[in-house]
Amino acid sequence: MKNINWGIIGCGDVTELKSGPAFNKVPHSRLVAVMRRDAAKAKDYAERHGVPRWYNDASQLINDPEVNAVYIATPPSSHEAYAIAALQAGKPVYVEKPMSLNYQSALNMATAAADCNGLLTVAHYRRQWPLFIKLKQLLHENVIGEVRLVRLEFYAPPLSSGQLKIERNAWRVDPAISGGGLFYDLAPHQLDLMLYFFGAAKQVSGIATNQAAIYGADDLVTGNILFTNGIVFSGTWCFSAAAQRDHCEIVGSEGSINFSFFNGNYIQVNNRGETSSHQFEQLQHVQQPMIEQVVQYFGGEAPNPCTGKEGATVMRWMEAFTSSNKNDIYQQPC
């Protein structure tokens, strides 16, 4: 396909600025149709963003002959059904994170793509940010020597009762819709970058609990990964803390790299007592660099920037962190 004509299933908040406008700013790409179950909201979105057609039925959008690629931006509970329907209709799919409710569902999607000889990309869009491209380059250049371990801390205050009444917040803490609360909403970005930087895991385990019991999902998760290259990852996510914290440190044999995933535009490098930093501009549309790569992939001009298999791997890791059945701990055979 030379030109990618997109249809969006689920034109909600995430598509207003983060992704939606970017489809018309990337070369050989345009947004031609949107769908939302609420017809009035679908029509409003289409009119405000200059989209030619709108639907309140996903099957109509999938079968629109002008739509030749589908972006799924609904809550995770419907990702699998919509992705498989689009793939079976011969349409390439770009699907939001988390890829689905759980590992098995994500695996079903990846399998469907293979069975249909279709194209499937997961929206782990931080892979294409200049900040994280630079970070990967620094690791490749061994600026901190051999990487030994990674320490991640992400803390946030609990959502208030008022915040929980807002739809876009409420579904994120309902495991039946989101898969596993705010951890499932945010951790895919972080863990995918660990996969992107360090590769396959040999062993993954964790602990999850609902300490504050404000909503049904776990609000504290800890996770450990032993990568096949010997690097060790340790992460803690707490969504009932007194204050916000978003920090990650990669420790090497000759120094360390410090950065944040969501609240900063910098990389700080410490090497044998000397400190340097790299600053990056805020992106207007945070998914635009990824969408550009996806358009090139769908057009046969570039490799897949994040495969369904990779997306399913991240789901598997999260499941190993949070599973109540500790006999289900993930361990790669030696």
212 and 269 share a domain? yes
31 and 100 share a domain? yes
Total structural domains in the chain? 2
Q: What's the pLDDT tens digit per position in 261-311? A: 998 899 999 998 899 999 999 999 999 999 999 999 999 999 999 999 999
- Alpha-carbon radius of gyration of the chain: 20
164 and 262 share a domain? yes
Global pTM value: 0.95
Task: Give CA–CA dist 299/297, Å, rounded.
Answer: 5
119 and 27 share a domain? yes
What is the model's pLDDT at position 133? Answer: 98
Beta strand ranges found along 81-123 (DSSP E):
93-95, 120-122
Task: Give CA–CA dist 225/200, Å, rounded.
Answer: 10
Q: Which domain holds residue 51?
A: 4-124+287-303
Task: Give CA–CA dist 247/198, Å, rounded.
Answer: 18
What CATH number is associated with residue 136?
Answer: 3.30.360.10
What is the model's pLDDT at position 263? Answer: 87
31 and 167 share a domain? no
Q: Kindly state whether residue 47 falls inside one of the protein's structural domains.
A: yes
177 and 203 share a domain? yes
26 and 102 share a domain? yes
What CATH number is associated with residue 299?
Answer: 3.40.50.720
265 and 147 share a domain? yes
- All residue ranges of the chain with pLDDT < 70 are 324-334
Cβ pair 21, 285 in contact under 8 A = yes
